[in-house]
Amino acid sequence: MKNWYLLITNHAQERKARDELVNRQLVQDSYCPLTHSDKRKGGKAIVQPLFPRYVFFQMDTGRDNFYSVSKCPGVFQIVRNSLQSDGYKYPSVAPPDLIEFLRQQENDAGIHLTENDYKAGDRIRIKKGRLAGFEGIVKGTKQERVFALIDFMGQQDMQLGYGEIEAI
């Protein structure tokens, strides 16, 4: 029977663990949901795991070996239930619809969509920087930037990152 499970990776090793599990054919499938970070590098938003240090993996419990998965490069440990009556901590099974739900929240590039998806007319508030607390209206978005009209000494056109604003 195929089930989805969850593992904890070593620090910043989510992609390595995910790829190694599949390349070594230790699992049926692996999944690490990605999202855009508030941080930028070279002017572009950094793509990072939605759940840092966690990777989902699918196994056939009658055929595959949890021990091999736990010893794979990048893997720290498999998430397990509390101690059972037989003295063994069994791997925790992820809810069957969870992976499907997470994948439905992704765009075509495989990036998890978040509440940062603003539309023209949305009201926002700046939450970081010297203009923290000022409010405005979204004029549009492009890539990882939001173009807004901010009420600061009259109406000012501004270009902001998703991490700098919040919906109101």
Q: Are residues 145 and 67 in the same domain?
A: no
Give me the number of domains the chain comprises.
Answer: 2
**Tokens at 51, concatenated:** 């759940």
Q: Are residues 93 and 56 in the same domain?
A: yes
What contacts 56, CB < 8 A, 6 or more positions away? 4, 5, 6, 30, 31, 32, 94, 98, 99
pLDDT of the residue at 53:
96
CATH code for the domain in which residue 139 is found: 2.30.30
Could you tell me if 69 and 24 are in contact, meaning their C-beta atoms sit under 8 angstroms apart? no
Q: Which domain holds residue 97?
A: 2-104
**Tokens at 87, concatenated:** 């003295």
In this prediction, the residues of the chain whose per-residue pLDDT falls under 50 are none
Q: Are residues 69 and 11 in the same domain?
A: yes
CATH code for the domain in which residue 85 is found: 3.30.70.940
0.75 exceeded by the pTM? Answer: no
pLDDT of the residue at 145:
78
Q: Are residues 43 and 11 in the same domain?
A: yes
Q: Are residues 16 and 51 in the same domain?
A: yes
- Interatomic CA distance for residues 131 and 152, integer angstroms: 8
Domain membership of residue 111 (yes or no) is no
pLDDT of the residue at 30:
93
pLDDT of the residue at 38:
66
Q: Are residues 33 and 83 in the same domain?
A: yes
pLDDT of the residue at 59:
92
Render pLDDT for 95-128 as a digit per residue (tens, 0 to 9): 889 999 888 878 777 887 665 567 888 899 988 8
Could you tell me if 80 and 90 are in contact, meaning their C-beta atoms sit under 8 angstroms apart? yes
- Interatomic CA distance for residues 168 and 160, integer angstroms: 16
- Interatomic CA distance for residues 84 and 99, integer angstroms: 26
Q: Are residues 52 and 84 in the same domain?
A: yes
pLDDT of the residue at 64:
64
Q: What 3-state class would DSSP assign to 67?
A: helix
Q: What 3-state class would DSSP assign to 164?
A: helix
**Tokens at 54, concatenated:** 């966690």
Q: Are residues 89 and 140 in the same domain?
A: no
pLDDT of the residue at 163:
75
